[in-house]
Each structure stands twice: as structure tokens, then as C-alpha cells.
Amino acid sequence: MSIRRYKTFFNILAGCFLLLVPCASHAQLSVTQQNAQSLVQNVLIGSGVTVNNISFTGNPIMIGSFNGSNSNIGLQSGIIMSTGKIYDAIGPNNSASTGDDLGVNGYSLLQNLLGPDAETNDAAVLRFNFTCEGDKVQFKYVFASEEYPEYVGSKYNDVFGFFIQGPGISGTQNIARIPGTNNVPVTINNVNQSSYSAYFVNNGNGITGGGSTVQFDGFTRPFIAEIAVQPCEQYTIIMAIADVSDGLYDSGVFLEAQSFTSPEVHIRQQISYVGANQSLYENCGSNRIILTRTGQTDKPMTVFLEAGGTATYGTDYTAFPRTITFAPGQDSVSFDIFAFKDDINEAAGEPVSIIYRDTGCTEIKIKRVDFTIFDPPGPLQVNAGNDVNLVCPGEPILLQAAISGGLAPYAVRWNNLQLGNPLTVNPDSTTSYRVTVTDQCGNTVRDSMMAIIKDYTPLKYNIKLADTICSGNSIRIGGIATGGKAPLSYFWLHNGSAEPSLMVQPEKDTEYTVSVTDSCNITQTRTIKIKVRQVHALFDVTYIDGKTIQFKDLSYPDISRWQWDFGDQSAGSDVQHPLYAYADTCRYWVSLVVFDNNLCSDTVRNPIKAYPPFNFYVPNAFTPDGDGINDYFSGIGEGFVTYEMLIFNRWGEIIFQTKSFADKWGQGKRDVLDRIPIDTYVYKIILTTPMLERKQYVGRISVIR
């Protein structure tokens, strides 16, 4: 296996591996196989050229059309010729060695470009005759190859050429040349990443990465092939491309659609009126005459114009230039024609022709524009119409001005509204409508009319839109609207009421929506926001001693006043955190009423106990025999808040437990008492005083019968 074929095999494996890697979807070059006759006649040829005797040598799969609008090839569309299958040009570039040896012969003209030792294979050759209207022929192309970049400078220098034969050309001349050089041909070895690199596009190597739209590893930027010819003489062009040294690694040439052209001048007119029909009116608008040339524009070009028709040149219309010169790089020249007012009645109009005589190959081509000059249109007039009386605001009326004279179509605007006539409006008050009309000649006229609304006072609904109430209170919202056309109707959204005002008692912040509508169906809608103030009364206590208590206010929010009632017929207090000493030990109901700045209030009432001084005693024995004397066991005392007693047997087991001072050990029926054996037990009593002091008593208690 040759080194080149071994590398091809390795690159195919690498390409297959790349195909296993998921890739994002991209727009690509697209190609379609097509016959040479159709491609030349319908795709390649542009203006100023006629062709015949079209032929193609090679495999039909080697030629077709392409669409490069979604690729980076540099051309929108045209013809593609390849040394392999044209479909292999489609991206992405995922192989460094795409190509097919189709077994097609080489081509002698390409062989001559390379020298006697080179060998061409798989040649695609497109040949046709052409005749030019001008003195030059040109077309745009891109050369691409899979031989890039690794075979630059090698014998695998795939070759192409554009060979022209005909009058004034010595022998056969190749016009595929690098711009600005002295006949340096466009080849792989001449245009690449190192030589004339400004004209080269590196599209990746197909192994470590490559372009997403075209398979070829590299290609040139768009070139223009051109040569001077003799107008009307027949020439032959041969477009050929071939592999060199072997049939592997394809190359291709892209020819831009409609780019095979010869310079040609065209003339057209653009009358300034909308929908103009080759008519120009005196003292009205203009006619722009536009000359364009095709082909290369790098040299100046002069054309000559003539005036025709019955209208007098320079008197009835503008004296236009008879000689027009295109400057280098300029492809369009224009000038404006104006018709002069002569106050002569010429109802039939006066024709005008502007003529360019283009010397063709068999006859002179007359290229011209024709138009007719007419008398000015009649005076532009407008009548806005009569004033209109309305009963209600918002009634629709039709604005329709009567327009005459001038040159239609007209631009019509009422006040600052959108353009239009007729136009429907809905005035909400007495309004003057002014109409402005402009015709195609630029003339402007104006008129006005009134839309009058009589005996109508605008509907107004001025009510309070926000208020604050205390929780639990009611408030009246809404009110009577003024103005409008009676009768008025009301509607409350939350309950459907038809009353002008309502009493409401919201529990939280609430919005109420009310609408009032008059008999003209004009509606005013209001949203009323009621904020509900929530006041919460709350307090806590701390015992200083059994009967002296520190009261702590915990009420919220924003409390500003306090009223304390200590429940003992005293005068109470208005202090936020009062300290109060009760005279007697008793249970009292203490009340607190609080107020905020809006006088919203709340009340809380809690029981409070005033305790006697602390004393406590624990006996050491009792007789649970049911005789009513010393039958139960508990501590004895007063001045404490909590009480807990536990009784343990000799094994440390709890045999009795209570958290109530009213519960005694031994209380119950006779059989309960009988189950308390005579023995010595351990008690544990835990007390808490009002001041939250913890007291604990532990001792022995004997059961005696």
C-alpha cells in the first residue's frame, strides 16, 4: 500500500470515529446534479452574452448546481464541477481525504499547464461558444480542494483552468489568474496558507476539526476571471478541472450564477407619483431617469442620450445631459426631469422619449423610456363637511372629506389622528376636526368641522378612596356622583348592590370597587381601600411578694393609652406597667383596656391571686384506718403557687403521686386504706412560691394502725 493510500485509509478511520461523536446541526452547502446545457443557459449566463454549442466531458455526477447561501464558500449559488462526486462537497468537514477515483481520463490543456512529467486524471471539462455585446467577458469563481493543506508543494497539485480561444487572442489563454499578478495561475501550490494567504480560506483538516458547511479542507476567496474581447465575435471557453498524479482527494470549482457577463447599459424611469403610469404633469412631481451598467466597473464608461417626442427639449421639460459618463467604480447614474407649466391647453398631452442607442452584434438596440407631459391637474379642494350635534360623549361619527382636483391618491389626515378618509372617531367633548389634504404634486389644502356635544356635564364621581377603621367597627363608603346624563346607576363589585353608598364591616384590610354609569353609557369606576386597625390587649405578671404584683403590658401595636382595673374596687391605673399591692389575699379579676392613636381598643381580663405569707408543715405519721382522724397524709401550709408530692416505698418505688394540693395520700374508699401496709415510707414535696422560689421537703412518714 502506497503512503498516500495508507494515509487515506487512516483518515477514513479517523473520519468514521468523528462520525460517532454527536455533533450540533448546522446549515450546509447543498448541491443538485444537472445537465450542462441547462446549467450554462439557466444558471451561469448573465447579461450581454449569448451562448451555443454547449458540451460536457466527464462523469455526469461531476457537474451540477449548488446553493451556498448557508455555507462559507463565499458564493450564493451557481455551478459546481468536481474531480469526484459533487455530493462529496457537502459539509461538515469530517474527513481529510474525501474523494473518488472515477476512472475518467485526464485533459491535455491541463496537462500542458503542469509540464510533461505530470499526469492528470478524472477531468471534468465544460465547453461552449459565446458572443459578447461588450468588449469584455467576466465571471466569478472559487477553487477548493481536499489536497489542502498536507499536499501543498507536492506532485498532487490538482489543476484547473479557464481557457479562451477566439479573435484577438493568441492561441489558447488561461484566465484563472491571481489578481494583481503577471499571469500567475490559481493553483494549490500558488494559493494556500503560506502563499497569497490573503486569498485562502482554511476550512480545517477534517481530523481535529473543520468547517460545518463544506467538506473541502481549503478553498480560495472569490476571484473574478476576465478578458478583453471583440464585441459580436464568437469565442470558445473551456472550463476544466482534474486530479493530478492519482484520482484520490477531490478538488472542485464553483462558478457564481449569472456572473458570466459582458458590460451592458440599461435605462429606466421612476416617476415620483404613487401608481404612476408614464404620466408627468406640468409643475408637479418629477421623473427620475436611471442608467445602470453591468459587469466590472473599474474603468470609466460614456454613453450618449437622445431626446424624442413632440414636447420641446429644454422648454417643456428639463434639459437633461446628452452625454453620461460612469466614473470608475460607479455602476449607476441618475438625473431628474421636471415638466414646466406653459399655460397652454394641451389636453392630449405631449410625449417625451429619452433614447440610448446600444450597438448590438446584429443591430442597434434601442433602449428608451417614454412618458407623456400633461397640463397641471385642477386646483386641489377639500370640504370637511357640516358640523355634527351629539347627545352623548363617545358617540361615533364619520369624518369624510369631499376632495376634488389635484393629483390623486391623496394623503389625508384629520387632526393628529392616523391617515385616512373616511375615518370614524368618538369625541368625548366638543371637538374641532381639521382635515389636511396633500396631493401627489405636493399641494396642500385644509378645512374643518365641529362635533358639538350639547347640554352634557361630564360625569364626576368624587368620593373618599381610603379610610381607616378599628376592628369590629362599621363604616359607610361610596357616595353620590354628579354630572352625566340621568338616570345614574351604581354597581358594587363585591356584592352586586345598586346603592350609591354602603355600610361595611371588614375584618381585615379590604378593597371595594364601585362603578357609576349614566344613560350615555359613560362609566366612572373607583376602588376604595379600607384599612382595619387590629389592637391586641395582653399582659403578664411578676410577683414581688405574695400580694405585691408587677404588671407588664404586652399589648400591640402602637398602643398609646392604658386603663387597668385590678378587680378590688380600687381606682385602677393608667400606667403602662403598674406595680400594685393587694390589701387582702384573694382571687381577683384584672382587666386591661388599651387604645392606639386612632382610639381603636381591645380588652383582656385575667384572674390574679394575692397570696398570704408562706408557711408549710409536714407531719411524720398518719393512721389510715377510716376513723376520720388523721386518715390522710399531705403537707399543710399556704402562700405557694404549685404543689407536687411523691411517696416512695422502701424499694424506692413511687406508690403515690399528685400535683394537686387537694389530693391526699390515703383518700378513697375503705379498701384503698386497707392496701396501705404498716411501714415507713419516704415523701418528697416540691413547692413553688408566687415569686417562683422552689422549695423542697424530703422525709420519712410512718403508717400506724
pLDDT of 74 over the 90 cut: yes
Question: Per-residue pLDDT for 13 more than 70?
Answer: no
On whether the CB atoms of residues 177 and 165 are closer than 8 A, the answer is: no
User: What grid cell was written down for 48?
Assistant: 450581454
What is the rounded CA–CA span in Å between residue 389 and residue 271?
44
CA-to-CA dists, residue 645 to 113, 418, 659, 699, angstroms? 123, 95, 6, 12
pLDDT digits (tens, 9 = 90+) for 142-160: 999 998 888 898 888 888 9
| Domain co-membership, 42 together with 184 | yes
CA distance 175 to 44: 17
626 and 551 part of one domain: no
CA distance 163 to 159: 13
Residue 165: how many other CB atoms lie within 10 Å: 15
Are 332 and 435 part of one and the same domain? Answer: no
Q: Strand pairing partners for 177?
A: 185
* Position with higher pLDDT, 425 vs 2: 425
pLDDT at 378: 92
* Coil, strand or helix at 22: coil
Per residue in 583-633, pLDDT (tens digit) is 999 999 999 999 998 899 999 999 999 999 999 999 999 888 778 888 889
Residues 148 and 237 in one domain: yes
Residues 114 and 82 in one domain: yes
For the chain, the distance separating the N- and C-terminal CA atoms, rounded to the nearest angstrom, is: 124
- How many CB atoms neighbour CB 189 within 10 A? 18
pLDDT tier, 427 (very low <50, low <70, confident <90, very high otherwise): very high
Domain that holds residue 93: 3-256
Record the cell numbers describing residue 437, joined without a space.
389634504
546 and 665, same structural domain?
Answer: no
Q: Give the rounded percent of residues in the chain with a pLDDT score beyond 70.
A: 94
Determine contact, residues 205/10, Cβ cutoff 8 Å: no
**79 and 38: one domain?**
yes
Residues 95 and 166 in one domain: yes
Quick: pLDDT tens for 647-687. 999 999 999 999 999 999 988 765 555 578 889 999 999 99
Q: What is the mean pLDDT of residues 282-295?
A: 91
Of 609, 630, 664, the residue at which a domain comes to its end is 609
Of 609, 626, 655, the one marking the end of a domain is 609
- Give pLDDT tens digits for 104-114: 999 999 988 88
Counted domains in the chain: 6
Mean pLDDT of 369-383: 95
Q: Do 132 and 173 fall within a single domain?
A: yes
Q: How far apart are CA 518 and CA 523, in angstroms?
A: 7
C-alpha cell at 96: 481529510
Three-class HEC string of 320-364: CCCEEEECCCCCEEEEEECECCCCCCCCCCEEEEEEEEEECCCCE
What's the Cα-to-Cα distance from 289 to each of 300, 343, 409, 514, 669, rounded to whole Å?
A: 20, 26, 23, 67, 131
Tens-digit pLDDT profile for residues 300-356: 888 999 999 999 999 999 999 999 999 998 999 999 999 999 989 988 999 999 999
Q: Could you give phi then psi for residue 615, rounded to 5 degrees?
A: -155, 145
Could you tell me what percent of the chain has a pLDDT over 90? 74
Distance of alpha carbon 475 from alpha carbon 483, whole angstroms: 26
- In three-state secondary structure terms, 88 is helix
pLDDT band at 362 (very low <50, low <70, confident <90, very high): low
pLDDT exceeds 50 at position 438: yes
SS3 63: strand
Question: What is the pLDDT at residue 297?
Answer: 76
Asked if residue 384 lies in contact with residue 447, where contact means CB atoms within 8 angstroms, the answer is yes
Q: Is the pLDDT of residue 75 over 80?
A: yes
For residue 669, what pLDDT is reported?
65
SS3 state at 86: helix
- Whether residue 207 is contained in a domain is answered as yes
Residue 161 has what pLDDT? Answer: 93
Look at residue 6 in the predicted model and tell me its pLDDT.
42
Q: Exposure pattern of 327-355 as b/e (b: 16+ CB <10 Å)?
A: eeeeeebebebebeebeeeeeebbebebb
pLDDT digits (tens, 9 = 90+) for 83-112: 999 999 999 999 888 888 899 999 999 988
Mean pLDDT of the chain: 90
Spatial distance between the Cα atoms of 213 and 204, rounded to a whole number of angstroms: 11
Same domain, 476 and 334: no
In a domain, 291, yes or no: yes
> Is the residue at 401 inside a domain?
yes
- CATH code, domain carrying 420: 2.60.40.10
CATH number, position 631: 2.60.40.1220
Cell of 121: 486524471
Residue 458 maps to a domain: no
Q: Which positions ≥6 away from 327 have C-beta within 8 Å?
A: 300
Q: Are 248 and 118 in contact (CB under 8 A)?
A: no
Q: Residue 515 falls within a domain, yes or no?
A: yes
pLDDT beyond 80 at 27 = no
Q: Does 353 or 249 have the greater pLDDT score? A: 353
User: Is 76 contained in some domain?
Assistant: yes
CB 434 within 8 A of CB 449: no
Position 630: which residue type? N
Instruction: Judge whether 461 lies within some domain.
Output: no
Distances from the Cα of 178 to the Cαs of 112, 173, 185, 509, 672, in angstroms? 19, 14, 6, 84, 126
State whether 572 and 508 are in the same domain: no
Same domain, 73 and 218: yes
Instruction: Tell me, yes or no, whether 662 lies in a domain.
Output: yes
Of 453, 476, 498, the domain-final residue: 453
Of the candidates 635, 628, 690, 629, the residue with the CA atom closest to the CA atom of residue 660: 635
